[in-house]
């Protein structure tokens, strides 16, 4: 057994779980009229209600003991101070500095002047493009921005520009190309005008195969439509930490927006990787997004653990993963604008905490990140919610919604909210056999017909959910929401004693793909792999 699972705090929680496993949420609410007041609070424009979870005051205090045992407060300070807590890459993880104000010292110099410098350059560039001072080679203002990047260089800005679309301007449309599948870039560029299209090639390393392939195809597309080599400077900018590769690709150094190795890909939307956000929404809105995240940072750093939103959210998640054995966690935004949020959080949580060895390299004997998945409501209700209500496994879920719509029309938002609120209540209360029987009887059913249908009409309930509410999806609340999840992931990583900031797991497949790429176009059959891989490669070769 590991030190963690043997520890007093862990053992106390394991014993406590045996008690709570039999608890009924219905009963807990019946017994305590103040349960909502006790188990909900607000921070940085968000409200978290975690009262519909299988927790009591004692659960929370035992979970907080676990957090203290892991020295969470000290780790939070280490994060904000820029210590090199990403040990396997020997780096700090300073996404908080990107939206911060106070000096932060890394390798004995303050990084904040550089952070502000890049933000100011982004501002000048974005406003010049939006204002029409910076134009395409034929003298026309830009109408479309195509961001070429993948993973951390795509998901964040894509999710945010989708979420904040009403804050954008119709005269400058953002597009995102990430997949190396040529269909995506072909379909995106179809219908665009090369004279009014601006490309951002976003890649921290500037060596990512997919991004470079898409960037090369974009360049060819541009050159084939009247652009010259010299015009590339007006139409292509890069966001990267790798000056050398950027210039090798043919993008001028003056068209490069830099960032730093202490910004992890999936934590990078606050840096120059957010350029498409600034272009689409304007720099003021981008700064509001940063301000929202900063408000959550200040809360995370300053609030007592028991009233600390990322801490509580992280502990609740961990409670189910480690003590109830759940293996997946649903994120269900009830707002169409947040339709990319589950995909974004999938990367944030699963790439950060999908680890099997601890900070010291020992294989862990406890579960780490669950599978994160989700879709916007109400669509999910007509699809997978069946499993949430009546399936055999418990899937804890976060329900997220704004009180006000970005597009108020008729009764739509009230209907959306009514469904949102109804689902967490239904998941919690379920429907007992007696209730189901009474309902069926009232419908005129009896005898054998009733007995046959009855088991199908029972909902066990007691399915835990957390609810996050905000006024509206706008730059500040969205910034706070993203930072909330970033810190939640950090909290869990500290307790699991894993490094959330590296991602060695994505390497292996990448290297193999390079080898297979050569084999796909080589003469003769592939023979160097296992029989399955050889067979599949050769089938593809025969049918290409």
407 included as an active-site residue:
no
> 112 and 102 in contact (C-beta within 8 Å)?
yes
Tell me which of 91, 130, 137, 204 binds ligand G6Q, using CB under 6 A. 204
> 490 and 79 in contact (C-beta within 8 Å)?
yes
**Within 13 Å and on the Cβ side, how many CA atoms surround 70?**
26
State which residue, 369 or 469, has the beta carbon closest to ligand G6Q: 369
Cα 293 to Cα 95, 239, 277, 281, 320: the distances in Å are: 10, 21, 15, 17, 27
Catalytic residue, candidates 229, 382, 507, 511: 382
Q: How far is the CB of 266 from ligand G6Q (least distance, A)?
A: 4
Q: How far is the CB of 505 from ligand G6Q (least distance, A)?
A: 10
State which residue, 250 or 354, has the beta carbon closest to ligand G6Q: 354
> 371 and 439 in contact (C-beta within 8 Å)?
no
Q: Does 86 bind ligand G6Q (CB under 6 A)?
A: no
CA–CA distance, 149 with 204 (Å, rounded to integer): 9
> 356 and 363 in contact (C-beta within 8 Å)?
yes
Query: What track of x and - describes contact with ligand G6Q for positions 392 through 431 (by CB under 6 A)?
Result: ----------------------------------------
220 included as an active-site residue:
no
Q: How far is the CB of 502 from ligand G6Q (least distance, A)?
A: 9
Beta strand pairing call for 46-49 and 109-110: unpaired
CA–CA distance, 474 with 403 (Å, rounded to integer): 12
State which residue, 154 or 195, has the beta carbon closest to ligand G6Q: 154
Helical ranges in 111-191 per DSSP H: 112-130, 155-163, 182-189
Tell me which of 503, 519, 526, 537 binds ligand G6Q, using CB under 6 A. 503
State which residue, 59 or 347, has the beta carbon closest to ligand G6Q: 347
Cα 328 to Cα 44, 346, 350: the distances in Å are: 27, 11, 11
Q: Nearest residue to ligand G6Q, using CB?
A: 151
Q: Does 95 bind ligand G6Q (CB under 6 A)?
A: no
Lookup result for tokens 């982004």: 122
Q: How far is the CB of 344 from ligand G6Q (least distance, A)?
A: 11
Q: How far is the CB of 340 from ligand G6Q (least distance, A)?
A: 15
State which residue, 67 or 92, has the beta carbon closest to ligand G6Q: 92
CA–CA distance, 273 with 277 (Å, rounded to integer): 9
Torsion, Cα of 371, 372, 376, 378 (10° steps): 50
How many chain residues are in contact with ligand G6Q, going by CB under 6 A? 14
**Looking at 28-36, 42-50, 203-211, 244-252, which segment touches ligand G6Q (CB under 6 A)?**
203-211
31 included as an active-site residue:
no
> 91 and 261 in contact (C-beta within 8 Å)?
yes
State which residue, 152 or 370, has the beta carbon closest to ligand G6Q: 152
CA–CA distance, 376 with 244 (Å, rounded to integer): 41
* Per-residue exposure over 231-251, b if at least 16 CB sit within 10 Å of its own CB, e if not: bbebbbbbbbbbeebbeebeb
**Looking at 83-91, 146-154, 377-385, 524-532, which segment touches ligand G6Q (CB under 6 A)?**
146-154
> 28 and 390 in contact (C-beta within 8 Å)?
no
CA–CA distance, 113 with 454 (Å, rounded to integer): 67
Tell me which of 82, 152, 374, 479 binds ligand G6Q, using CB under 6 A. 152
> 237 and 199 in contact (C-beta within 8 Å)?
yes
Which 211-270 residues touch ligand G6Q, going by CB under 6 A?
211, 264-266
> Is residue 538 packed enough to be buried (19+ CB in 10 Å), middle (13-18) or exposed (0-12)?
middle
**Looking at 98-106, 147-155, 395-403, 474-482, which segment touches ligand G6Q (CB under 6 A)?**
147-155
Q: Does 147 bind ligand G6Q (CB under 6 A)?
A: no
Lookup result for tokens 């169409």: 336
Tell me which of 147, 203, 466, 493 binds ligand G6Q, using CB under 6 A. 203
Tell me which of 153, 178, 188, 493 binds ligand G6Q, using CB under 6 A. 153
Q: How far is the CB of 151 from ligand G6Q (least distance, A)?
A: 2
Q: Does 486 bind ligand G6Q (CB under 6 A)?
A: no
Number of Cβ within 10 Å of residue 205's Cβ equals 13
Q: How far is the CB of 201 from ligand G6Q (least distance, A)?
A: 9
Cα 345 to Cα 68, 130, 324, 355: the distances in Å are: 26, 30, 22, 16
Number of Cβ within 10 Å of residue 107's Cβ equals 9
Q: Does 208 bind ligand G6Q (CB under 6 A)?
A: yes
Catalytic residue, candidates 210, 351, 375, 474: 351
Q: Does 151 bind ligand G6Q (CB under 6 A)?
A: yes
Lookup result for tokens 């779980």: 17
State which residue, 151 or 310, has the beta carbon closest to ligand G6Q: 151
- Residue positions annotated with a catalytic role: 351, 382, 510
List residues near ligand G6Q by CB under 6 A: 150-153, 203-205, 208, 211, 264-266, 351, 503
């Amino acid at each position: 057994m590991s030190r963690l699972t043997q520890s007093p705090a862990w053992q106390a929680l394991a014993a406590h779980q045996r008690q709570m496993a039999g608890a009924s949420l219905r009963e807990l609410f019946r017994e305590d009229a103040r349960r909502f007041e006790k188990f909900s609070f607000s921070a940085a424009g968000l409200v978290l209600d975690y009262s519909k979870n299988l927790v009591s005051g004692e659960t929370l205090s035992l979970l907080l003991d676990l957090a203290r045992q892991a020295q969470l407060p000290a780790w939070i300070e280490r994060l904000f101070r820029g210590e090199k807590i990403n040990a396997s890459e020997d780096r700090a993880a300073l996404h908080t500095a990107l939206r911060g104000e106070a000096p932060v010292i890394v390798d004995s110099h303050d990084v904040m002047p550089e952070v502000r410098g890049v933000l100011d350059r982004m501002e000048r560039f974005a406003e010049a493009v939006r204002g029409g001072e910076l134009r395409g080679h034929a003298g026309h203002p830009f109408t479309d921005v195509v961001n070429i990047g993948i993973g951390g260089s795509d998901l964040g800005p894509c999710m945010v520009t989708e979420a904040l679309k009403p804050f954008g301007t119709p005269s400058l449309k953002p597009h995102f190309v990430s997949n190396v599948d040529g269909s995506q870039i072909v379909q995106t560029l179809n219908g665009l005008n090369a004279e009014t299209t601006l490309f951002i090639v976003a890649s921290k390393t500037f060596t990512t195969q997919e991004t470079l392939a898409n960037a090369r195809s974009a360049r060819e597309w541009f050159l084939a439509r009247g652009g010259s080599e010299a015009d590339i400077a007006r139409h292509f900018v890069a966001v990267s930490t790798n000056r050398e590769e950027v210039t090798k690709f043919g993008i001028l150094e003056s068209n490069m927006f830099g960032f730093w190795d202490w910004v992890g890909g999936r934590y990078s939307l606050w840096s120059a990787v957010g350029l498409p956000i600034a272009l689409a929404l304007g720099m003021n809105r981008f700064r509001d997004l940063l301000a929202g995240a900063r408000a959550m940072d200040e809360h995370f750093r300053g609030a007592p653990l028991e009233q600390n939103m990322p801490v509580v959210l992280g502990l609740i998640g961990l409670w189910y993963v480690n003590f109830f054995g759940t293996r997946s966690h649903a994120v269900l935004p009830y707002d169409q604008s947040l339709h990319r949020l589950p995909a974004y959080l999938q990367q944030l949580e699963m790439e950060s905490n999908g680890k099997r060895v601890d900070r010291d390299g020992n294989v862990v004997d406890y579960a780490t990140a669950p599978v994160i998945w989700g879709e916007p409501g109400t669509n999910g209700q007509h699809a997978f919610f069946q499993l949430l209500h009546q399936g055999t496994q418990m899937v804890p879920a976060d329900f997220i919604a704004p009180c006000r719509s970005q597009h108020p029309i008729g009764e739509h938002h009230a209907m959306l909210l009514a469904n949102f609120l109804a689902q967490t209540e239904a998941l919690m209360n379920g429907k007992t056999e007696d209730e189901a029987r009474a309902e069926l009887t009232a419908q005129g059913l009896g005898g054998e017909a009733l007995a046959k249908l009855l088991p199908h009409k029972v909902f066990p309930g007691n399915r835990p959910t957390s609810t996050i509410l905000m006024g509206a999806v706008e730059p500040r609340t969205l910034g706070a929401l993203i930072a909330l999840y970033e810190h939640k992931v950090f909290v869990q990583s500290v307790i699991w004693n894993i490094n959330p900031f590296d991602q060695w797991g994505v390497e292996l497949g990448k290297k193999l793909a390079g080898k297979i790429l050569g084999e796909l176009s080589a003469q003769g059959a592939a023979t160097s792999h296992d029989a399955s891989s050889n067979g599949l490669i050769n089938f593809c070769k025969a049918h290409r």
